[in-house]
Amino acid sequence: MLTVAVLISGTGSNLRALLEAARHPDFPARVVVVGADREADGLAHAEEFGIPSFTVPWHLHESREHWGEEVGRQLDVWKPDLVVLSGLMRLLPPSLVAAYSPRLINTHPAYLPEFPGAHGVRDALAAGAAETGASVIVVDDGVDTGPILAQERVPIVEGDTEHTLHERIKPVERRLLIDVVRRIATGELALSSAS
Ligand code: GRF
């Protein structure tokens, strides 16, 4: 059974989808812990599913490195086989990336390498693109530059706002994430720094 830690910042809807998938006896992975960089609303999903959680508040740490060391200490308690960044709005310090990558994956609401960074949905709209997408990647030291594990196109429609477009992308992100975690767990998908 693949053990998974999930790190979040927000509402955790992708986390919730993974928790729901992992509750099925046939699913080959289990979420063992959820971590957040703030009092994220999504921590409520962990509580509801009886999954332990931790918070390492970003603002209480003097540097990214110090914050990352504490996140690493918390993760090491659980020794997860895989760490999923699911809406974590922070870059991890290189020391933490080195400790977990390539067993460290991220979901992103754009068709990478198009529109990397914190505002992937907004940037796709601003560029006047006809379509964008969702991606699941291995985290490396860049901003959304790691090897792509899965991705799918999502059309942009007339009248889309950042909110409506993001809400259409998220179900695709969830489906891709659950499938990637399943394939990693079964060994169908091998993780390497150059997947
Ligand atoms: C996802 O689109 C994620 O890729 C992005 O933020 C969203 C997280 O949403 N960076 P949620 O917290 O899972 O609802």
pLDDT of res. 21: 97
What are the E-state strand segments in 26-160?
A: 29-36, 53-55, 82-85, 104-108, 131-138, 148-155
Q: Nearest C-alpha to atom 2 of ligand 1 is from which residue?
A: 109
Residue 49 forms part of a structural domain = yes
Residue 137 forms part of a structural domain = no
Exposure of 79 in the CB half-sphere (CA atoms within 13 A): 0
Q: Which domain holds residue 50?
A: 1-100
Ligand 1 pocket test, pick from 9, 13, 14 with the greatest ligand atom count within 8 Å of Cβ, gives: 14
Q: Which residue has the tokens 């812990």?
A: 33
Residue 72 forms part of a structural domain = yes
Which tens digits make up the pLDDT trace of 142-159?
999 999 999 999 999 999
Report whether pLDDT(52) > 80. Answer: yes
pLDDT of res. 195: 56
Report whether pLDDT(25) > 80. Answer: yes
Closest CA to 132 of 141, 140, 120, 144: 120
pLDDT of res. 193: 74
Residue 189 forms part of a structural domain = no
CATH of the domain at 12: 3.40.50.170
Which tens digits make up the pLDDT trace of 85-135?
999 999 999 999 999 999 999 999 999 999 999 999 999 999 999 999 999
Distance 17 CA to ligand 1 centre (A): 12
Residue 81 forms part of a structural domain = yes
Q: Which residues lie closer than 8 Å to 163 by C-beta, 6 or more apart?
A: none
| Structural domains counted in the chain | 1
pLDDT of res. 172: 98
Mean pLDDT of the chain: 96
Residue 116 forms part of a structural domain = no
Residue 105 forms part of a structural domain = no
How far apart CA 174 and CA 188 sit, in angstroms, is: 19
